Every structure is written in C-alpha cells, then in structure tokens.
Amino acid sequence: MKVVFSRCESYSDVKEALKEVVDRLGGIERFVRKGERVLVKPNLLSPHTPEHAVTTHPDFVRAVCELIEEAGGKVIIGDSPGMQGIGEELFERTGIKDLGYPCVLFDKERTILKNGWLLTSVLEKVDRIINLPKLKTHTLTTLTLGVKNLYGLIPGVTKKKLHTKYPDPFSFSHMLLELYFLVKPDLTLLDGIWGMEGNGPSAGNPVRPGIVAGSPSALALDVEVAKRTGAGGFPLKRIAERKKILPSYTVEGDFRFRLKLPGKRWYHLLPSWAGHILSRLYRVKPGVLPEKCTGCGICMRNCPAGAIEIKDTARINYSRCIGCMSCQELCPFRAIVPVYGLIRR
C-alpha cells in the first residue's frame, strides 16, 4: 500500500500531477476496468464557486474523469451537500455541471439500508468509487479529507440525525471510520492544490498547499496529510493509531505545509481516551455575529437539534445545541464563528 504526493501549484497542471500519482499507485487500470461504472465523489459541501476553495475544483474532477474514460470506465458524479433543499445549483455553482458528465444529487435518489446505514442507492448502480476530497480544516473534526468526504454518501436528513447521535469530535470520527470500512472507496485522490485553513470547512481562508495526493487507503492518506500539515492530534488519526487499524504503507513524494487549525485543539495534547472524555465537556459552540447575519434561516433549517430560531438574526438556544457546527459550516455569510468553552447544560 502506498500514499503518493505530487507537487502541483496550478490547476492548469493537474492532469499531469494526477497521472503521476495514479501511475505510481499502479496505473488507472488497477482501479478501473473497461465498461465499469465509476462513482466520482467530490466534496460538494455547498453551492460555492471554485475560488472559495470549499469544494473539489472542477478542473481536478475533470482530469480524474478523463483518466477514468481513458481506462474505458463510465463516469457518474454524485454527492449530497451539507444543507437540505439544494437542487441543481449545487452542480452549477461548483462548476461540475459544465464538465458534461452525468451528475446525481443523492438527496433526490432512493436510499438503501446497508449494515444499518442509510446510504444512497447510487452505490448499487456502480462498480467502483473514486473519492475526491478537498484539503480543508474543519471546526468539529480538525480536518476534512478522504474519510470525512464519504459522509456525503449519506443523503440529506440522515446526516443531520448522525450529528445529534455523535456530537463530539471523537465519537463523530469513530462513526466516520465505521462508514469508511463499510464503503471503502477504491481510490482516493486529494485536491490540495488550493485548500482551506482556519474555520473550515466553509468559513476559513483559502490557502495553496500545492499538492495532489492519492492512495487506495483514504485512511492512510488522511493520517499522512495530518502529520504533514501540523494536525498530528487529528482525532481520526489518533483513533486509527490506538485501534491499530491503519494498513501498513509507504510514502512517495514530499509534502509539508503548516495549516492554521481551527480554534484551540487542546485535546490533541492528551491521550486519546482523555481527549474523548474531555472533548464532551469542553467543546466548540457556535457564536452568531449579528452584524453579518441576514436572518436567511439556512442554519435554522439545518440544525439537527432544533436549537436555532430567527428573530431578525439567528439566536441559538445553548441548552439544546450539541456543538455539531453544521450551522457554521452552512452559513453562506460567515455569520457564525466557533467559540470554545465548557458546555453549559
């Protein structure tokens, strides 16, 4: 097993960088055979245009789709965004529709039950999954990379319920790992040419790590990226190391880029079990910036705990809030910021 990094400073060079990564992993034919239907799963969190670095860049997606077609595969691009009620504008604004491949919004498809998980039925129609995460920070999980990107295979409202069930970074990351081992993508290719630091996954600042990375193991890729971006305490990495579920792998290519991580990641300094317990007590919570809030109600409609009401601007009922930070993730006006402190219940 390998994790491969290739430097790439511009999307105009992305095809060459991706080809180098895939060739070093054994060539695209190792992952796609002639006639196979391939689900390409970018990170399409919300209908942001590419320069915001919230979503996998369309040039990156195009280059992967071309490689799949060159191997004789048939491409289907699909995702379920973080917010409900989004339609075709998701593919339009992110630049994905212009690529000309079939695009499927999982929220409009049937769901299937697999080992207790409600997943998109598109999984029944494809032979392969190629996972295309974006390199970003995340206020709940520290980073969002290959494993977290699979959360989009769960359509709409079910994602909301899981946030309620797994409200802290460690239990949420445990859940993500279960999902990962259930769906196991064939190949993960990371768009780190432009990424996001600070209050990601949508309200942070775009940065240019200038990297394309790939691996058949999204988990190994995530762990290596965390080590190389200053996020050594990434909950997913700590759980994987503690449970000894990391595959053995080698690394090819060089990459270092220190990301500004969201908020106080103090529990990174603790043993994993202690971090898990204390992260339930001392947790990130959303704070509303009234001067930026337009009262649009997107946060209210997507809050899994029903903790938000709109009175001109968003008001948060902290006795109900579970700290999932979905509201911050989805606010289009950056009107919600993370605040760190003891949970008040």
Alpha helical stretches, state H, 166-266: 169-183, 218-228, 235-243
Distance in angstroms (rounded) separating the CA atoms of residues 288 and 321 = 13
Per CB under 6 A, 140 contacts ligand SF4: no
In this chain, which stretch among 147-155, 168-176, 200-208, 289-297 interacts with ligand SF4, using CB under 6 A?
Answer: 289-297
Q: Residues 314, 319, 337, 342: which binds ligand SF4 (CB under 6 A)? A: 314
- Choose among 199, 201, 226: nearest CA to 213: 226
- Give me the half-sphere count of Cα atoms (radius 13 Å) on the Cβ side of residue 236: 30
Task: Select 231 or 321, whichever has its Cβ closest to ligand SF4.
Answer: 321
Write down the least CB distance from residue 180 to ligand SF4, Å: 23
- Choose among 169, 141, 167: nearest CA to 345: 167
Residue 64, C-beta contacts closer than 8 angstroms, at least 6 positions apart? 18, 40, 130, 132, 189
In this chain, which stretch among 205-213, 233-241, 271-279, 309-317 interacts with ligand SF4, using CB under 6 A?
Answer: 309-317
Backbone CA torsion sign across 181, 184, 189, 191: negative
In this chain, which stretch among 54-62, 233-241, 274-282, 296-304 interacts with ligand SF4, using CB under 6 A?
Answer: 296-304
Per CB under 6 A, 322 contacts ligand SF4: yes
Q: Residues 44, 213, 336, 337: which binds ligand SF4 (CB under 6 A)? A: 336
Q: Residues 83, 154, 220, 331: which binds ligand SF4 (CB under 6 A)? A: 331
In this chain, which stretch among 8-16, 23-31, 261-269, 287-295 interacts with ligand SF4, using CB under 6 A?
Answer: 287-295
Distance in angstroms (rounded) separating the CA atoms of residues 95 and 72 = 24
- Choose among 100, 166, 128: nearest CA to 34: 128
Per CB under 6 A, 296 contacts ligand SF4: yes
Interface contacts to ligand SF4, rule CB under 6 A: 286, 288, 293-299, 303-305, 307-308, 310, 313-314, 316, 321-327, 331, 333, 335-336
